[in-house]
Amino acid sequence: MGELVLAAKTTHVPTMLLSEMDGPLKGCRQPAIDGHREIGRRAREAGADTFLVLDTHWLVNSAYHINAKPHFKGNYASNEFPQFIENLPYDYQGNPELGNLIADIAQQDGVYTLSHQVENLELEYGTLVPMRYMNEDAALKVVSVAAWCTVHSHAASRKLGEAIRKGIEASDSKVALIASGSLSHKIWPNDIYKENNGTFTISSEFNRQVDESVLELWQKGEIETFLKMLPDYAHHCDGEGDMHDTVMLFAALGWDKYQGRGEVVTPYFPSSGTGQTNVVFSLD
């Protein structure tokens, strides 16, 4: 019987890659990288054999989609930020059985979901950046779920999150579930990005205050309160991918029945106007 052994909400900012390189940004995202590595360490300690990533950089316009190929291998460049991410090699084993099982359960629960083993369907950087640090040795399998959902309701994404938990428990896999996306996500307008030192600042003080309040709610275990504000939070603070990754994550955790707390493993930081962090949720 399968088990959810770790759950986290994480950043995937591309400047993490630039932080590795010699130059003016060297070391700038070390706390985020360290947080990813700590999550990877905890996943292994908990016995995980698979990372299931809810990727807010995989945009879909119809249905829910799971990339569950048996093997992922390529050399990635970002269409969005080719100046930040290019020549990023990756090589991971997949878990088609888990992806197919989740899709089948979601379909039975009335949520149109497809699991794909399409040879040339590649991973997006919302999956690749966390895996670079959490799964450096590529020892764990990878499954990616599209979470930039443009015509989907939070209610349907909640059902998919519930199906993810059911699928995990019906499988033979021990899974680390990663919601890969920011908190607030209002990127600086291009014409004023540079003058506001956009790479290292927040674009809205309102967004910062709400982000920090959300982190406080998570740390106190006031999840039911957070869930009541989640639709407005996603809307008014420009949540990345409308925060469908976060909806799926908390649905997999049990929604308002979840009694755990969030532990901040990377302190909150702004990036290109957005709010970022790494948070692990207890599974006691």
Q: Give yes or no for residue 12 having a pLDDT over 90.
A: yes
User: pLDDT, tens digit, for every residue of 115-165?
Assistant: 999 999 999 999 999 999 999 999 999 999 999 999 999 999 999 999 999
Cβ atoms of 48 and 174 within 8 Å: the answer is yes
Calculate the CA 92 to chain-centre distance.
17
pLDDT in tens, 44-72: 999 999 999 999 999 999 999 999 999 99
Binned at pLDDT 50, 70 and 90, residue 196 comes out as low
Token pair for residue 96?
């088609």
Give the whole-angstrom CA distance, residue 24 versus residue 26.
6
Average pLDDT over residues 18-37: 94
The CATH number of whichever domain residue 98 belongs to comes to 3.40.830.10
162 Cβ neighbours under 8 A, 6+ residues apart:
109, 251, 252, 255
Name the pLDDT band for 193 (thresholds 50, 70, 90). Answer: low
**Of 95, 94, 75, nearest to 85 (Cα)?**
75
The confidence score (pLDDT) of residue 195 equals 63
Number of domains in the chain: 1
Contact 5, 174 (CB under 8 A): yes
Nearest partner of 279 among 266, 269, 56, judged by Cα: 266
**Three-state SS at 99:** helix
Query: Hey, is 257 helix, strand or coil?
Result: helix
Q: How many Cβ atoms are within 10 Å of 208's Cβ, its own excluded?
A: 18
Determine the structural domain holding residue 174 and report its residue range.
3-281
Task: Tell me the average pLDDT of the chain.
Answer: 96
